[in-house]
Amino acid sequence: MTTKRPPTALEKMGLNSPMALALHLPARYEDETELFTIEEALALGRFHSIQTQGIVIRNQVTFRPRRQLLVTIEDDTASLQLRFLNFYPSQQKQMAVGAHVRVRGEVRDGYQGAEMVHPTVRAVVPEAPLSASLTPVYPASAGLSQTIIRKAVLKALQDASLKESLAEFLPTKLMAEILPSNDWPPLQDAITYLHKPPADANTQSLLERTHPAWRRVQFEELLAQQISLKRAHAIRRERRAPSFENEAQKTTSIEDGLLKVLPFKLTGAQARVWSEIGLDLSNNFPMNRLLQGDVGSGKTVIAALAAARAMDHGYQAAIMAPTEILAEQHYLKMQEWFEPLGVQIAWLSGSLKAKEKRLAQEIIESGEAQLIIGTHALIQDKVSFAKLGLAVIDEQHRFGVRQRLEIQQRVGSELFYCHQLMMSATPIPRTLAMTYYADLDVSVIDELPPGRKPIATKVVKAARRDEVIGGLHDWLTKGLQAYWVCPLIEESEVLQLQTAVESFEQLTQALPNFKVGLVHGRLKSEEKAAVMAAFKANEIQLLVATTVIEVGVDVPNAALMVIEHAERFGYAQIHQLRGRVGRGSADSVCILMYAEPLSLAAKERLQTLRETSDGFVIAERDLSLRGPGELLGAKQSGDAMLRFVDLQHDAWLIELAQTAAERLLAEHSDLVERHLERWLGSRTEFLKA
């Protein structure tokens, strides 16, 4: 039977069965069981939402800095401002002076003192009764109100089919042996409890998701995820890849040649990761390894060594980067290292003329090109390789897991896959690696090349800009170079360009004895490349840039970086940017200039960045702030493989789920499918990728 009607808002969210609705658990709860005076709310309502009420004594629309509605409410104890940046006339009316309203929200410090921004508001009589139990708040979408979802969920929970779909089938014995305590309710009870917490429920543990009912659900979800990751692991081992034995001892090898032309010795950490990677490459199934190392730790040479090994066996290697600038840096480096050894390199860039592109593709397809370098998009989509043995993907977290490369090739009748090496300067905390990356082996370069000086980071008010420019003058006079980074302006690319141009003009005027260059995202790629080349050749002493220089650029003589409006950058961005300096012999300095007023979060961020340049510390802070989805790249946040687990706090649960997954696969393989289907449904395909 087919229906022609358009999908409802519920169906669009995938909430199309009683089971889907049952598993659509509250994102949070609102505690409308308690009411506080405004004075109490001001004290207790920081960082979490709180309920209070009062009489409206002011209701005013202002236009500075933008149109907004300001409402003040008051009770016997104090008054509180409510701020609405978007509002309907009906809301304005609801909060007319003299109205009595009950509001719920977080209290923050605004320009005019404590306030709630966009609280939920209900007009009530002062003695309106409080809810008896916590109110669930569901993940929703535009056009789908909480009321609709709540109704649908409650109806679904009555559905007879749930008895079957939520039936307990994990072996009792196994559960008893693995679970830490026996107060975890059966699955169906847990789910009902979470949707309809009873009046006497432990509020705190429900809100924090530590309640046994939450634990039960989290465990099941993690179990499904661990099973499917372990499977992916097994599937990879069944795939074939060319096996590359170590040939470095052969003096005719490219690998040996590379080691001889390198102007430095590998650090201990580099040697260690290289032997780990070398071992992977000797396997006859595809490597899937992430090479982590802080900015400047020397990942490029490891990529080159791996490429050399593949080429020594008659296979092609490809190195991909997210941006043209970064890809070009790799191209220049590889030319320097490999061309003297007679290696044929193909360069694929978006800015190549059609004919050049065709030519590059021809030599890649014929096998004449041994090493291929370009941006990820270019290489992945349009190229057919003669015999690709290794793909290196730099800064892979920017692409997201989903875009992992799947190049299958045929030699004679045999199908084979290439080895893959991902490289990233964004450290991935252990808890994340254990879940998202269970089928990804990880190597870490935890040592910087010798002679690196720590970067002195200073935090300076924008009001001292002239002083900073004075210092910059002295710096350049010493024959050193510097970067001046202008911030991303999210609302407007035009505005962003404009501020960069303004800074460029001001600095050009203030530093007449030096050549100032400008590079930004709107330049054509050959223009960008020309500016970067001039900077590298010291024809430009000061490079004004937008965030396009964020990754990969390597100019050792540039050891000073000024970052304008540093308060607008995130942790990872500043860390990456700052990694551009500190590569030469000069003492390196990074100046973080900020404009006031500074939010609490920005203040803490700048302070942390001043105190540490340890990428792992910074990543942990970042994770606690933003959550894993964002850390791994925007691509993944929408997928949210784990809906109910907090990776930060539930790490111990992951270990439990790992053990359970191993035992289930070994002892009860018949239950595995059923469990996966229940938890992941259509998402299993994604996990196998």
Q: Which token pair is 22?
A: 């049952």
Task: Give the residue with the Cβ less far from ligand ADP, 399 or 417.
Answer: 399
Closest CA to 436 of 129, 689, 132, 235: 689
Residue nearest to ligand ADP (CB): 298
Residues with Cβ within 8 Å of 448's Cβ and at least 6 positions away in sequence, in order, are 267, 294, 296, 297, 298
Which of the listed partners (Mg ion, ligand ADP, none) does 503 bind, with a CB threshold of 5 to 8 Å by partner kind?
Answer: none
Which of the listed partners (ligand ADP, Mg ion, none) does 245 bind, with a CB threshold of 5 to 8 Å by partner kind?
Answer: none
3-state SS assignment for residue 538: coil
Q: Which token pair is 676?
A: 């996966």
Task: For the chain, state the CA radius of gyration.
Answer: 29
Tell which one of 13, 41, 121, 295 touches ligand ADP (CB under 6 A).
Answer: 295
Q: Any contact of residue 300 with ligand ADP (CB under 6 A)?
A: yes
Torsion of CA 243, 247, 252, 254, to 10 degrees: 70
Q: Any contact of residue 374 with ligand ADP (CB under 6 A)?
A: no
Site stretch for ligand ADP (CB under 6 A), options 29-37, 299-307, 570-578, 673-681: 299-307
Which of the listed partners (ligand ADP, Mg ion, none) does 301 bind, with a CB threshold of 5 to 8 Å by partner kind?
Answer: ligand ADP
Task: Give the residue with the Cβ less far from ligand ADP, 409 or 424.
Answer: 424
Q: Any contact of residue 296 with ligand ADP (CB under 6 A)?
A: yes
| Residues near ligand ADP (CB under 6 A), total | 17
Q: Treating both helix axes as pointing N-terminal to C-terminal, what angle do 268-281 and 300-312 enclose, rounded to 10 degrees?
A: 30
Tell which one of 102, 376, 583, 678 touches ligand ADP (CB under 6 A).
Answer: 583
Output phi, psi for 193, to 5 deg. -60, -45
According to DSSP, the β-strands at 28-30 and 135-137 are antiparallel
Least Å from the CB of residue 519 to ligand ADP: 19
DSSP assignment of 88-126: -HHHHHHT-TT-EEEEEE--EEETTEEEEES-EEEE--T
Closest CA to 366 of 351, 347, 384: 384
Q: Any contact of residue 633 with ligand ADP (CB under 6 A)?
A: no
Q: How far apart are CA 345 and CA 342, in angstroms?
A: 9
Closest CA to 255 of 311, 180, 199, 191: 311
Least Å from the CB of residue 551 to ligand ADP: 8
Task: Give the residue with the Cβ less far from ligand ADP, 487 or 582.
Answer: 582
State the binding string over 522-561 for ligand ADP (x if CB under 6 A, else -).
--------------------------------x-------
CA distances from 10 to 5, 16, 146, 369, 417 (A): 13, 7, 11, 52, 41
Least Å from the CB of residue 17 to ligand ADP: 48
Q: How far apart are CA 613 and CA 456, in angstroms?
A: 9
CA distances from 4 to 1, 372, 527 (A): 10, 50, 53
Task: Give the residue with the Cβ less far from ligand ADP, 206 or 423.
Answer: 423
Q: Which token pair is 315?
A: 């296979």
Tell which one of 102, 231, 289, 299 touches ligand ADP (CB under 6 A).
Answer: 299
Which of the listed partners (ligand ADP, Mg ion, none) does 264 bind, with a CB threshold of 5 to 8 Å by partner kind?
Answer: ligand ADP
Q: Any contact of residue 297 with ligand ADP (CB under 6 A)?
A: yes
Least Å from the CB of residue 317 to ligand ADP: 16
3-state SS assignment for residue 537: coil
Query: Which 392-451 residues touch ligand ADP, going by CB under 6 A?
Result: 425, 449
Least Å from the CB of residue 552 to ligand ADP: 7
Site stretch for ligand ADP (CB under 6 A), options 62-70, 264-272, 514-522, 562-570: 264-272
Least Å from the CB of residue 656 to ligand ADP: 35
Local structure of residue 583 (DSSP, 8 states): -
Q: Any contact of residue 301 with ligand ADP (CB under 6 A)?
A: yes
Least Å from the CB of residue 303 to ligand ADP: 8
Site stretch for Mg ion (CB under 5 A), options 194-202, 524-532, 551-559, 648-656: 551-559
Output phi, psi for 269, to 5 deg. -65, -40
Least Å from the CB of residue 448 to ligand ADP: 8
Residues near ligand ADP (CB under 6 A) are 264-267, 270, 293, 295-301, 425, 449, 554, 583
Residues near Mg ion (CB under 5 A) are 552
